[in-house]
């Protein structure tokens, strides 16, 4: 008996019943690796879009908030520990400030945190002036030359400060050693 040359038609004729009922034929369906590759590319696109939107939001906040001058001490970083989901355990939030032991800070020093906001005159439709008001106090947990790390001591009560948002210490807030 002479063997027939194998072709797509011959293959289709000889296919078994289970293959027809649901097992994928790698020639006609997408391979699993191609499917995973398309899925991961879509997920990567989602992450990129999220990062872009976050960047735009941060940029918009910097445009609205007045920048501190080079001589002003500020909160330049905020880092929060990872929440492991343990009941009753809240991750610590550390605030990095550009003051340190050279400026007289040491562990236990209290820092006053103020927010600087630009005010807008609706009558003349121009920026009027910057307003600075206290929002919180921080307690230094580590100090070295030029930098200190502090944790929130207390927020100023809402009835003793102007309305502001977010009601938290954030990057760019002004800092000075308490008297």
Average pLDDT over residues 73-100: 93
| Greater model confidence, 28 or 111 | 111
Residue 179's pLDDT is 80
> Number of C-alpha atoms within 13 angstroms, CB side, residue 111?
33
> Number of C-alpha atoms within 13 angstroms, CB side, residue 83?
5
- 25 pLDDT more than 80: no
Percent with pLDDT over 90 in the chain: 44
Residue 65 pLDDT grade (very low, low, confident, very high; cuts 50, 70, 90): very low
Average pLDDT over residues 129-150: 96
| Greater model confidence, 53 or 157 | 157
- 41 pLDDT more than 70: no
Domains of the chain are: 1-64 (no CATH), 75-177 (2.40.10)
Average pLDDT over residues 151-160: 94
Phi-psi region of 125 (alpha: psi -120 to 50; beta: other; left: phi over 0): left
With residues binned 3-state (H G I as helix, E B as strand, rest as coil), the percentages for the chain, rounded to 5, are: 25, 30, 40
Q: Where are the beta strands (DSSP E) in 17-173?
A: 75-80, 93-97, 110-121, 126-144, 147-155
pLDDT tens for residues 43-60? Answer: 666 665 555 555 554 444
| Greater model confidence, 44 or 112 | 112
Per mean pLDDT, which range of 11-15, 42-46, 127-131 is the poorest?
11-15
Q: Which residue has the tokens 């790390």?
A: 149
CA distances from 96 to 29, 162, 175 (A): 55, 24, 10
In this prediction the pTM is: 0.59
């Amino acid at each position: 008996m002479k063997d027939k040359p194998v072709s797509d038609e011959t293959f289709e004729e000889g296919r078994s019943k289970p293959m027809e009922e649901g097992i994928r034929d790698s020639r006609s369906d997408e391979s699993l690796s191609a499917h995973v590759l398309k899925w991961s590319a879509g997920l990567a696109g989602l992450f990129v879009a999220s990062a872009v939107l976050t960047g735009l939001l941060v940029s918009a906040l910097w445009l609205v908030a007045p920048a501190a001058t080079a001589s002003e001490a500020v909160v330049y970083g905020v880092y929060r520990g990872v929440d492991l989901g343990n009941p009753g355990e809240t991750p610590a939030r550390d605030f990095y400030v550009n003051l340190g032991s050279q400026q007289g800070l040491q562990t236990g020093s209290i820092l006053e945190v103020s927010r600087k906001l630009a005010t807008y005159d609706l009558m003349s439709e121009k920026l009027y002036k910057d307003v600075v008001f206290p929002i919180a106090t921080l307690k230094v947990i580590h100090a070295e030359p030029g930098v200190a790390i502090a944790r929130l001591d207390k927020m100023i009560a809402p009835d003793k400060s102007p309305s502001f948002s977010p009601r938290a210490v954030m990057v760019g807030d002004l800092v000075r050693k308490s008297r």
